[in-house]
Amino acid sequence: MYNHGNPANVRYSAKESDLSLVFSAARQIEVGEELTVNYNESYGDIHSSEDIWFQGRGITPI
């Protein structure tokens, strides 16, 4: 549903009351543009200094 981006164009937050995630645009997103979240950051931050999520799984992003 969402691909990885660093920085991402979408952020997320947890809504504990009903155990859901809320996704919101972090910037203007153009029609047809892919939606991305940053897999590395807990709590939905859109930028991280390293792609540790991939490194921890032995994956090299392309």
Please compute, for residue 10, the number of CA atoms within 13 A of its CA located in the half-sphere on the CB side: 18
The better pLDDT of the pair 51, 12 is held by 12
In a domain, 60, yes or no: no
Domain that holds residue 17: 3-55
Total tally of structural domains belonging to the chain: 1
Task: Check residue 38 and give its pLDDT.
Answer: 87
3 state SS of 44? helix
Give a yes or no: residue 27 inside a domain.
yes
- State the pLDDT at residue 34: 96
Residue 61 included in any domain? no
Is 40 within a domain? yes
- What's the pLDDT tens digit per position in 20-62? 989 999 999 999 999 999 887 666 678 777 766 667 778 776 6
